Structure 1
Amino acid sequence: MGLFSADEPKRYEIDGKQLACIFCKGETFHTRTEQLHSPGRTFLNLEWTDSTASCFVCSSCGFMHWFMR
């Protein structure tokens, strides 16, 4: 699958709530971490200092759900 975790899709709970896709209502997801780029840091070639977000990609439809704390 390349861009996703090597694991099989799984069910996840966030803050005590079962994660469900807002598009298709699927309940299993692949996970990945994405870096959030800002224009200023990109201009200064400091993208590596930007924050990251946890992404859950629905295994049924591919809709990506982003979470950051």
Structure 2
Amino acid sequence: MSKAEKITFEGNELVCPVCGYDEFWQRETLMNTAGASFLGFDWANKAAKNYVCDKCGYVYWFLSK
């Protein structure tokens, strides 16, 4: 877990749509697929960047193209 901070993503300041708070901490989450999981290749899945509201826990998910 990283320190909560204000986040600007592609020129837009993130604000939580649930509680209106503007500080988030960051994490990455693997976007598991059934095929990769079945074959034991979870590590090969793409990772999504998550920003988690420090007040209510709402999670923004961003997956690079």
Tell me the TM-score normalised to structure 2 length.
Answer: 0.92
RMSD across aligned C-alpha pairs, in angstroms?
0.8
The alpha-carbon deviation at position 67 of structure 1 amounts to 0.6
User: Which 4+ runs in 1 deviate beyond 2 A?
Assistant: none
**Structure 2: gaps spanning 5 or more residues:** none
Picking from 21, 25, 35, the partner of 1:40 is: 35
Tell me the TM-score normalised to structure 1 length.
Answer: 0.87
- Give the alignment of 1:22-61 within 5 angstroms: 22-61=17-56
Identity %: 28
1:65 pairs with 2:60: yes
Q: Secondary structure at the match of 1:62?
A: coil
**Structure 1: gaps spanning 5 or more residues:** none
Paired residues, what number?
Answer: 64
Number of the residue aligned with 1:10: 5
